[in-house]
């Protein structure tokens, strides 16, 4: 998979993409991530990328030209162009699965002050990561990239995401490791019983119970 990210702040991504599982996925060529500062595409003599809003109001608005030209230069037949914006479709695990099957994603990181409405015309999808406002789409594109890259074949063991929270609209089951007793808190006996059928049953029950307690809204699905 190839992921291109259009941003005015490419340095924000350095730490996130140079550590742990994402770094390994990049090193193993499971994903190629390219950052594009669309300021470089501005035809303005001062490389301006924003301007005041028509009709008045506060803040600056991202202009069409640099983003249109940047997308045009990297888009192919296989590209899906995605705008990060608080008024997009709420991001869910199912969308991570769907996007992980794409060949080429292009993320456009907007700004909270806004972008020219006509930028939406070159986008295939608009995504929001939750009902709160961020200063820009950068953090959202990192969150989405992370959730997609871990699903790419061979990045983590297939089995590790079969029980992920939100699969089958259920949260994950509780896990324990050594020691068996820590500060008086014991590991549930069933997990040390060696009875795999019982363990599977216990985990399924725990997933349902947890979901009922914490996220009853998911169970309705």
Q: Is 53 a catalytic residue?
A: no
User: Is residue 112 at the binding interface for ligand 6GU, with CB under 6 A as the rule?
Assistant: yes
Q: Looking at 53, 69, 102, 150, which residue is catalytic?
A: 150
| Spatial separation of the C-alpha atoms in residues 47 and 34, rounded to whole Å | 21
In terms of CB distance, is 63 or 85 closer to ligand 6GU? Answer: 85
114 binds ligand 6GU (CB under 6 A): no
Contact pick of 57, 59, 130, 179 for ligand 6GU (by CB under 6 A): 130
Cβ proximity to ligand 6GU: between 133 and 185 the closer is 133
- To the query of whether residue 78 is one of the catalytic residues in this protein, the response is no
| Alpha-carbon separation of residue 152 from 2, 32, 39, 103, 133 (angstroms) | 11, 12, 31, 11, 29
50 is catalytic: no
CA atoms within 13 A on the CB side of 117: 2
Q: Which 136-175 positions form the footprint of ligand 6GU (CB under 6 A)?
A: 136-137, 140
Based on C-alpha coordinates, what's the Rg of the chain?
22
Alpha helices (H) in 29-137, listed in sequence order: 64-74, 93-100
Q: Where are the beta strands (DSSP E) in the chain?
A: 2-6, 32-36, 50-51, 61-62, 79-90, 104-109, 125-128, 181-182, 185-186
Contact (CB, 8 A) for 84 and 109: yes
76, 121, 133, 159: residue in contact with ligand 6GU (rule CB under 6 A): 133
Among residues 69, 86, 172, 203, the one annotated as catalytic is 86
Residues 71-90 that bind ligand 6GU (CB under 6 A): 84-86, 88
Instruction: Verify whether residue 113 is a known catalytic residue.
Output: yes
Interface ranges with ligand 6GU (CB under 6 A): 84-86, 88, 112, 127-130, 132-134, 136-137, 140
- Active-site positions? 86, 113, 150, 164
């Amino acid at each position: 998979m190839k992921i291109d990210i259009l941003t005015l702040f490419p340095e924000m991504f350095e730490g996130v993409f140079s550590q742990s599982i994402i770094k390994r996925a990049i090193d193993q060529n499971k994903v190629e991530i390219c950052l594009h500062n669309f300021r470089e595409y501005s035809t303005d003599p001062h490389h301006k990328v924003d301007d005041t809003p028509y009709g008045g109001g506060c803040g600056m608005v991202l202009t069409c030209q640099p983003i249109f030209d940047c997308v045009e230069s990297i888009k192919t037949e296989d590209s899906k162009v995605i705008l990060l914006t608080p008024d997009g479709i709420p991001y869910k695990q199912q969308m991570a699965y769907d996007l992980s099957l794409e060949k080429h994603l292009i993320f456009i990181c907007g700004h909270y002050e806004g972008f020219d409405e006509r930028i939406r015309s070159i986008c295939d999808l608009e995504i929001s990561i939750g009902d709160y406002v961020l200063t820009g789409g950068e953090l959202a594109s990192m969150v989405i990239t992370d959730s997609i890259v871990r699903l790419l074949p061979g990045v983590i063991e297939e089995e590790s995401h079969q029980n992920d929270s939100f699969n089958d609209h259920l949260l994950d089951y509780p896990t324990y490791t050594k020691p068996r007793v820590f500060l008086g808190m014991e590991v549930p006996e069933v997990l040390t019983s060696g009875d795999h059928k019982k363990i599977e049953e216990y985990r399924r029950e725990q997933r349902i119970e947890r979901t009922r307690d914490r996220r009853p809204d998911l169970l309705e699905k």
